[in-house]
Amino acid sequence: MVSTTTLLDLRGSIARGDLAWRFVRAFFTALQTRRLRAAEDPQMVARLQEFSEALARLAAGDGAVRLQRFGPHLWVGRTRLRPLPEHRLLLRSVLGDFERWGIGGLEFQSDADPAALASFIELYPTVDRCLLAARPEGGRLEVVVELSPQVRALPAQRELNPEEMTPEEARAQARRTFFRALAAARSVTRQCALGGLPELRKTRAVVHEMVDTLVEEEFSLLGMTAIQNFDPYTFQHSVHVSILSMALGQRLGLSRGDLAALGVSAMFHDMGKTRVPKEVLHKPGRFDDTEWRVMRTHPLSGARELLRTGSVSDLLVQVMLVSAEHHLRFDGSGYPPLGDSWQQGLFARIVTLADCFDAMTASRIYMKRPFTPDAVIRYLFENSGRMFDPDLLRLFVEMVGLYPVGSLVRLESGELAVVAEPPTQAREVDRPAVVTLEPGGQGWRVGSVRRLADGAPVDPRCRIQAGCHPQDHEVDVDAVLAQVYLEAA
């Protein structure tokens, strides 16, 4: 089963690689032909026509195609060209030109017609001169320069280019990026989504190990850069899902190495979203049929994208599988349709839970009446055995509690309270630490932190009666938590 997906993805990747090569070859054949023939020569006209067609076919709806140099490699879009021996000269020639001009690459508008490409080919021998004004003292190009109406020179962006860094620089940068996202996740607003975080205070070593694994693999540095540049929400979500998945994996007793692989896989589960237009991705209302169709492509396009950015390793196959399977359900339904005999792997089952929990608790951004964290837990339970693995779900709830951090609850004493910390013991899922709210002034005053598990079982002050919606009681949960955490700090 694994090999079928891998093969399908390999085939997709090879097909894309072919188009990329066809494009690069068409470009250079046009250049070479122009050296030998006049601009209006029928052979030259034919080469320009081929060049324009190769560009349009490769772009396939994207606005532009980028031919870029990263370290010793040439990339077309996100495809790294893997040269056959006969391509080496061609490759060296392109890379040499880019190097001499101090540019990161060229960008071609996908609708560039033969006439527009002809004007670029005419200008090619003088690109160096065109860039003079933009390149102080012949150094690296720092800005985008329009060379001809539909072709632009791209700056050599060192910081976006993991392959040009030394391994130490790349590692340090990936570490910074990941931990910065983690710090943001710890900010009060997001604490609610990440009731599992206190768990991770104990497990910093696991996160470090995951980040080490992340930076060792070629695909992950590039993938992380791609997701981060594409959309900050998707990046934050990926970091959250990664952390939640590792926290759950730890409860499951996975080894450090497996936890690292799980964390990396979770980090890239939504890689395919980088291929979904942002208007669709961030659409506030419901998707129409066409939009749904686009959204449903992201698990497989993510797997393909990952394969394109790295050489095949065990970890890469694992990561691709999680991307492909993370919208399958425990009962075999979901998407993409992979056949009745296909079962979601363990990592994907973990990531599916973490993904759903984070996406639903983050719904506050999109919805007028967002889900409360405890409503999300109820939803997960309602779908236990259908969407989610019941055993994993039980472990997950032991971790975040029945009322995750940020839930507003009514205690049996009648008091309102906000859950401030997850329960410490598995058997106390309904007894987290809460901070009580007291009526005061124009709203609520923050009372004291009460650990519900510490009270006698009969003490009504220590029992949760029900979850409430903050909008019904005009409680700003984030502000309450901010106060609690600031005082604790």
Report the nearest approach of Fe ion to the CB of residue 237 (Å): 6
Report the nearest approach of Fe ion to the CB of residue 241 (Å): 6
Minimum CB distance to Fe ion smaller for 270 or for 374:
270
Minimum CB distance to Fe ion smaller for 305 or for 355:
355
CA neighbor of 112 nearest in space, from 161, 163, 148, 77? 148
Report the nearest approach of Fe ion to the CB of residue 305 (Å): 13
Minimum CB distance to Fe ion smaller for 270 or for 398:
270
Report the nearest approach of Fe ion to the CB of residue 132 (Å): 47
Which amino acid is residue 348, in one-letter code?
A
Minimum CB distance to Fe ion smaller for 192 or for 446:
192
Report the nearest approach of Fe ion to the CB of residue 272 (Å): 7
Output the CA torsion sign for 358, 362, 368, 371. Answer: positive
Report the nearest approach of Fe ion to the CB of residue 275 (Å): 12
Report the nearest approach of Fe ion to the CB of residue 328 (Å): 11
Q: In what order do the strands lie in the sheet with 416-421?
A: 443-451, 433-440, 416-421, 408-411, 464-468
Taking contact as CB under 5 A, which single stretch among the options 23-31, 223-231, 268-276, 399-407 is the one that binds Fe ion?
268-276
Cβ atoms within 10 A of the Cβ of 311, count? Answer: 11
Q: Convert 255-287 to b/e letters by CB count within 10 Å (16 or more is b).
A: eeebbbbbbbbbbbbbbbbbbbeeeebeeeeee
User: How far is the first Cα of the chain from the last one, in angstroms, to the nearest whole number?
Assistant: 51
Taking contact as CB under 5 A, which single stretch among the options 63-71, 120-128, 249-257, 265-273 is the one that binds Fe ion?
265-273
DSSP 411-446: ETTS-EEEEEE--SSGGGTT--EEEEEEEETTEEEE
Task: Count Cα neighbours of 91 within 13 Å in the Cβ-side half-sphere.
Answer: 19
Per-residue binding letters, 411-430, with Fe ion (x by CB under 5 A) = --------------------
* Angle of CA points 351, 357, 361, to nearest 5°: 145
Report the nearest approach of Fe ion to the CB of residue 298 (Å): 6
Give the H/E segment covering residue 233.
helix 232-251
Minimum CB distance to Fe ion smaller for 276 or for 429:
276
Give me the phi and psi of 70, to 5 degrees please: -120, 110
Out of 199, 209, 217, 270, name the contact with Fe ion by CB under 5 A: 270
Minimum CB distance to Fe ion smaller for 266 or for 397:
266
Per-residue binding letters, 374-393, with Fe ion (x by CB under 5 A) = --------------------
Minimum CB distance to Fe ion smaller for 271 or for 419:
271
Cβ atoms within 10 A of the Cβ of 211, count? Answer: 24
Report the nearest approach of Fe ion to the CB of residue 229 (Å): 18
Q: Which of residues 310-349 bind Fe ion (CB under 5 A)?
A: none
Number of residues that bind Fe ion (CB under 5 A): 2
| DSSP tag of 106 | E
CA neighbor of 350 nearest in space, from 273, 274, 264? 264
Distances (CA, A) of 376 to 265, 353, 397, 405, 467: 23, 11, 11, 12, 11
Minimum CB distance to Fe ion smaller for 199 or for 270:
270
Per-residue binding letters, 66-95, with Fe ion (x by CB under 5 A) = ------------------------------
Distances (CA, A) of 460 to 169, 187, 410, 456: 56, 32, 11, 9
Taking contact as CB under 5 A, which single stretch among the options 103-111, 270-278, 379-387, 442-450 is the one that binds Fe ion?
270-278
What is the chain's alpha carbon radius of gyration, rounded to the nearest angstrom? Answer: 27
Report the nearest approach of Fe ion to the CB of residue 62 (Å): 21
Distance CA 332, CA 329 (A): 5
Taking contact as CB under 5 A, which single stretch among the options 7-15, 49-57, 267-275, 475-483 is the one that binds Fe ion?
267-275
Q: Which of residues 197-236 bind Fe ion (CB under 5 A)?
A: none
Per-residue binding letters, 346-365, with Fe ion (x by CB under 5 A) = ---------x----------
Taking contact as CB under 5 A, which single stretch among the options 13-21, 243-251, 264-272, 310-318 is the one that binds Fe ion?
264-272
Minimum CB distance to Fe ion smaller for 69 or for 326:
326
Minimum CB distance to Fe ion smaller for 9 or for 355:
355
Tokens read off for 17: 């690689």
Residues of this chain that bind Fe ion (CB under 5 A): 270, 355
